[in-house]
Protein backbone atom coordinates (compact mmCIF):
# COMPACT_ATOMS: atom_id res chain seq x y z
CA UNK A 1 0.00 0.00 0.00
CA UNK A 2 1.22 3.49 -0.77
CA UNK A 3 0.28 6.52 1.31
CA UNK A 4 0.29 9.73 -0.71
CA UNK A 5 1.28 12.75 1.35
CA UNK A 6 3.12 15.25 -0.86
CA UNK A 7 0.74 17.96 -2.05
CA UNK A 8 1.22 19.32 -5.54
CA UNK A 9 0.42 22.93 -4.59
CA UNK A 10 -0.62 25.09 -1.62
CA UNK A 11 -4.19 24.99 -2.94
CA UNK A 12 -4.04 21.20 -3.10
CA UNK A 13 -2.88 20.95 0.50
CA UNK A 14 -5.56 23.36 1.72
CA UNK A 15 -8.27 21.48 -0.17
CA UNK A 16 -7.18 18.08 1.17
CA UNK A 17 -7.05 19.34 4.76
CA UNK A 18 -10.30 21.33 4.70
CA UNK A 19 -12.47 19.11 2.54
CA UNK A 20 -11.20 15.64 3.49
CA UNK A 21 -9.45 15.69 6.85
CA UNK A 22 -11.22 18.24 9.07
CA UNK A 23 -14.68 17.03 8.17
CA UNK A 24 -13.68 13.56 9.37
CA UNK A 25 -12.56 14.74 12.80
CA UNK A 26 -8.84 15.38 12.28
CA UNK A 27 -8.97 18.52 14.41
CA UNK A 28 -5.75 18.32 16.44
CA UNK A 29 -2.51 19.09 14.69
CA UNK A 30 1.19 19.84 14.75
CA UNK A 31 2.88 21.73 11.94
CA UNK A 32 6.52 22.36 11.22
CA UNK A 33 9.27 22.67 8.65
CA UNK A 34 11.81 20.10 7.56
CA UNK A 35 15.37 21.51 7.73
CA UNK A 36 17.05 21.97 4.36
CA UNK A 37 19.80 19.61 5.49
CA UNK A 38 17.31 16.73 5.81
CA UNK A 39 15.89 14.47 3.10
CA UNK A 40 12.18 15.37 3.01
CA UNK A 41 11.07 12.04 1.55
CA UNK A 42 13.03 10.16 4.21
CA UNK A 43 11.26 12.25 6.87
CA UNK A 44 7.92 11.41 5.23
CA UNK A 45 8.64 7.69 5.47
CA UNK A 46 9.87 8.01 9.05
CA UNK A 47 6.78 9.89 10.30
CA UNK A 48 4.29 7.67 8.47
CA UNK A 49 5.94 4.56 9.92
CA UNK A 50 6.44 5.99 13.42
CA UNK A 51 2.80 6.93 13.91
CA UNK A 52 1.21 4.09 11.93
CA UNK A 53 -0.51 6.44 9.50
CA UNK A 54 -0.65 4.18 6.44
CA UNK A 55 -3.91 2.36 7.23
CA UNK A 56 -6.93 1.22 5.22
CA UNK A 57 -10.35 2.73 5.85
CA UNK A 58 -11.40 -0.50 7.59
CA UNK A 59 -8.40 -0.35 9.88
CA UNK A 60 -9.18 3.26 10.73
CA UNK A 61 -12.80 2.36 11.50
CA UNK A 62 -11.67 -0.48 13.77
CA UNK A 63 -9.34 1.82 15.68
CA UNK A 64 -12.08 4.41 16.08
CA UNK A 65 -14.49 1.79 17.47
CA UNK A 66 -11.87 0.89 20.08
CA UNK A 67 -11.44 4.52 21.16
CA UNK A 68 -8.09 4.88 19.41
CA UNK A 69 -7.14 7.92 17.37
CA UNK A 70 -6.17 7.95 13.70
CA UNK A 71 -3.65 10.22 12.01
CA UNK A 72 -2.98 11.87 8.66
CA UNK A 73 0.18 13.47 7.32
CA UNK A 74 0.61 15.94 4.47
CA UNK A 75 3.49 18.05 3.21
CA UNK A 76 4.14 20.80 0.68
CA UNK A 77 7.76 21.78 0.10
CA UNK A 78 9.44 21.79 3.50
CA UNK A 79 6.21 22.50 5.43
CA UNK A 80 4.39 19.55 6.97
CA UNK A 81 1.22 18.93 8.93
CA UNK A 82 0.35 16.01 11.21
CA UNK A 83 -3.32 15.66 12.15
CA UNK A 84 -5.00 13.39 14.68
CA UNK A 85 -8.59 12.54 15.66
CA UNK A 86 -10.17 12.14 19.08
CA UNK A 87 -9.02 9.07 21.00
CA UNK A 88 -5.87 7.63 22.49
CA UNK A 89 -2.62 7.86 20.55
CA UNK A 90 1.02 8.10 21.73
CA UNK A 91 1.43 11.11 19.44
CA UNK A 92 -0.72 13.20 21.77
CA UNK A 93 1.63 12.74 24.70
CA UNK A 94 4.79 13.20 22.65
CA UNK A 95 3.97 16.44 20.85
CA UNK A 96 2.50 19.83 21.75
CA UNK A 97 -0.67 19.71 19.68
CA UNK A 98 -3.17 22.42 18.80
CA UNK A 99 -6.91 22.27 18.24
CA UNK A 100 -7.90 23.87 14.93
CA UNK A 101 -11.30 24.75 16.41
CA UNK A 102 -9.47 27.25 18.64
CA UNK A 103 -6.16 27.81 16.88
CA UNK A 104 -6.44 27.87 13.07
CA UNK A 105 -3.84 26.18 10.92
CA UNK A 106 -1.71 28.90 9.28
CA UNK A 107 -0.17 28.05 5.93
CA UNK A 108 0.94 30.21 2.98
CA UNK A 109 -1.35 33.09 4.01
CA UNK A 110 -4.32 30.78 4.62
CA UNK A 111 -6.16 30.30 7.91
CA UNK A 112 -7.83 26.87 8.13
CA UNK A 113 -10.17 26.09 11.02
CA UNK A 114 -13.20 24.05 11.99
CA UNK A 115 -16.11 26.18 13.15
CA UNK A 116 -19.61 25.95 14.46
CA UNK A 117 -22.23 27.09 11.96
CA UNK A 118 -23.79 30.47 12.72
CA UNK A 119 -27.39 29.21 12.65
CA UNK A 120 -28.69 27.55 15.84
CA UNK A 121 -30.75 24.45 14.98
CA UNK A 122 -34.34 24.27 16.20
CA UNK A 123 -35.72 21.62 18.53
CA UNK A 124 -32.51 21.08 20.47
CA UNK A 125 -30.62 19.52 17.56
CA UNK A 126 -26.85 19.43 17.71
CA UNK A 127 -25.20 22.45 16.04
CA UNK A 128 -23.46 21.83 12.74
CA UNK A 129 -19.75 22.40 12.23
CA UNK A 130 -17.83 23.03 9.04
CA UNK A 131 -14.34 23.69 7.76
CA UNK A 132 -13.54 27.37 7.27
CA UNK A 133 -10.80 28.54 4.90
CA UNK A 134 -9.98 32.23 4.81
CA UNK A 135 -7.04 34.55 4.25
CA UNK A 136 -5.31 34.93 7.61
CA UNK A 137 -5.90 38.33 9.29
CA UNK A 138 -2.38 39.69 8.81
CA UNK A 139 -2.22 38.75 5.14
CA UNK A 140 -5.75 40.06 4.57
CA UNK A 141 -4.93 43.48 6.04
CA UNK A 142 -1.74 43.66 3.98
CA UNK A 143 -3.67 42.75 0.83
CA UNK A 144 -6.40 45.29 1.55
CA UNK A 145 -3.86 48.06 2.21
CA UNK A 146 -2.00 47.16 -0.99
CA UNK A 147 -5.12 47.52 -3.12
CA UNK A 148 -6.58 50.62 -1.48
CA UNK A 149 -3.22 52.43 -1.71
CA UNK A 150 -3.15 51.77 -5.45
CA UNK A 151 -6.86 52.25 -6.14
CA UNK A 152 -6.49 55.82 -7.35
CA UNK A 153 -3.01 55.47 -8.90
CA UNK A 154 -3.36 52.49 -11.21
CA UNK A 155 -5.39 52.09 -14.37
CA UNK A 156 -8.57 50.04 -14.44
CA UNK A 157 -6.85 47.40 -16.59
CA UNK A 158 -3.96 47.09 -14.13
CA UNK A 159 -6.28 46.75 -11.14
CA UNK A 160 -8.24 44.02 -12.94
CA UNK A 161 -5.02 42.11 -13.50
CA UNK A 162 -3.98 42.63 -9.88
CA UNK A 163 -7.26 41.15 -8.61
CA UNK A 164 -6.99 38.19 -10.98
CA UNK A 165 -3.47 37.45 -9.74
CA UNK A 166 -4.57 37.03 -6.11
CA UNK A 167 -3.46 33.43 -5.50
CA UNK A 168 -5.93 32.24 -2.86
CA UNK A 169 -8.49 29.56 -3.70
CA UNK A 170 -11.97 31.05 -3.72
CA UNK A 171 -13.63 29.44 -0.71
CA UNK A 172 -16.75 31.25 0.53
CA UNK A 173 -15.02 33.19 3.37
CA UNK A 174 -12.25 34.22 0.96
CA UNK A 175 -14.83 35.39 -1.58
CA UNK A 176 -16.33 37.61 1.12
CA UNK A 177 -12.90 38.97 2.01
CA UNK A 178 -12.15 39.76 -1.64
CA UNK A 179 -15.52 41.47 -2.04
CA UNK A 180 -14.70 43.62 1.01
CA UNK A 181 -11.41 44.64 -0.62
CA UNK A 182 -13.23 45.26 -3.90
CA UNK A 183 -15.73 47.58 -2.17
CA UNK A 184 -12.93 49.50 -0.45
CA UNK A 185 -11.09 49.93 -3.75
CA UNK A 186 -14.18 51.22 -5.55
CA UNK A 187 -14.95 53.60 -2.71
CA UNK A 188 -11.52 55.18 -3.19
CA UNK A 189 -11.98 55.28 -6.96
CA UNK A 190 -15.43 56.90 -6.71
CA UNK A 191 -14.04 59.60 -4.44
CA UNK A 192 -11.30 60.24 -7.01
CA UNK A 193 -13.81 60.29 -9.87
CA UNK A 194 -12.52 57.10 -11.52
CA UNK A 195 -14.37 54.21 -13.10
CA UNK A 196 -15.06 51.38 -10.61
CA UNK A 197 -13.47 47.94 -10.93
CA UNK A 198 -16.12 45.39 -12.03
CA UNK A 199 -16.76 42.49 -9.65
CA UNK A 200 -16.10 40.07 -12.51
CA UNK A 201 -12.39 40.90 -12.10
CA UNK A 202 -12.31 38.96 -8.84
CA UNK A 203 -12.64 35.51 -10.47
CA UNK A 204 -14.76 34.24 -7.58
CA UNK A 205 -15.28 30.67 -8.77
CA UNK A 206 -13.22 28.08 -6.91
CA UNK A 207 -11.32 25.57 -8.98
CA UNK A 208 -11.17 21.99 -7.76
CA UNK A 209 -7.61 20.65 -7.75
CA UNK A 210 -6.00 17.23 -7.55
CA UNK A 211 -4.24 17.46 -4.16
CA UNK A 212 -1.53 14.93 -4.89
CA UNK A 213 -1.12 15.42 -8.62
CA UNK A 214 2.30 16.61 -9.73
CA UNK A 215 3.42 18.28 -12.98
CA UNK A 216 5.59 15.28 -13.78
CA UNK A 217 4.18 11.86 -14.55
CA UNK A 218 5.26 10.45 -11.21
CA UNK A 219 3.57 11.00 -7.88
CA UNK A 220 5.59 11.38 -4.72
CA UNK A 221 4.37 8.57 -2.54
CA UNK A 222 5.42 7.02 0.71
CA UNK A 223 5.82 3.27 0.48
pLDDT at 116: 85
pLDDT category at 213 given cuts 50, 70, 90 is: low
Do residues 12 and 209 touch, judged by C-beta distance below 8 A? Answer: yes
Q: Are residues 171 and 64 in the same domain?
A: no
Angle between helices 137-150 and 172-192 (to 10 degrees): 30
Q: Are residues 43 and 150 in the same domain?
A: no
Q: Are residues 150 and 164 in the same domain?
A: yes
pLDDT at 54: 95
Q: Are residues 165 and 216 in the same domain?
A: no
Q: Are residues 62 and 124 in the same domain?
A: yes
Do residues 211 and 12 touch, judged by C-beta distance below 8 A? Answer: yes
Between vectors from CA 157 to CA 153 and to CA 160, what angle results, nearest 5°?
95
- Count of residues making up the chain: 223
- Other CB atoms within 10 A of residue 175 CB: 17
pLDDT at 74: 98
Give the range of the structural domain holding residue 90, as residue numbers without chain letter: 3-134+209-222
Q: Are residues 148 and 190 in the same domain?
A: yes
pLDDT at 122: 64
Distance of CA 52 to the CA centre of its chain: 24
Residue 120 clears pLDDT 90, i.e. is over it: no
Domain count for the chain: 2
Q: Are residues 60 and 146 in the same domain?
A: no
Q: Are residues 7 and 92 in the same domain?
A: yes
Average pLDDT over residues 96-122: 89
At 141-183, the pLDDT tens digits run 999 999 999 999 999 999 999 999 999 999 999 999 999 999 9
pTM above 0.85, yes or no: yes
Share of the chain above pLDDT 90, in %: 84
Q: Are residues 198 and 145 in the same domain?
A: yes
At 27-81, the pLDDT tens digits run 999 999 999 999 999 999 999 999 999 999 999 999 999 999 999 999 999 999 9
Pairing of strands 221-222, 3-4: antiparallel
pLDDT category at 111 given cuts 50, 70, 90 is: very high
Amino acid sequence: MKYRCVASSPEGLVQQVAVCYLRHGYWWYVSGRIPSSKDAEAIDRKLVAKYGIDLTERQRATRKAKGLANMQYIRYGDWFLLLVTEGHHPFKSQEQIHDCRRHPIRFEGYSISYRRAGVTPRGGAMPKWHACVRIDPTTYQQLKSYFTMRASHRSLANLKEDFQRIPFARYAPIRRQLLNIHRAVNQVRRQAGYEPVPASSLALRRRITQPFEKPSAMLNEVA
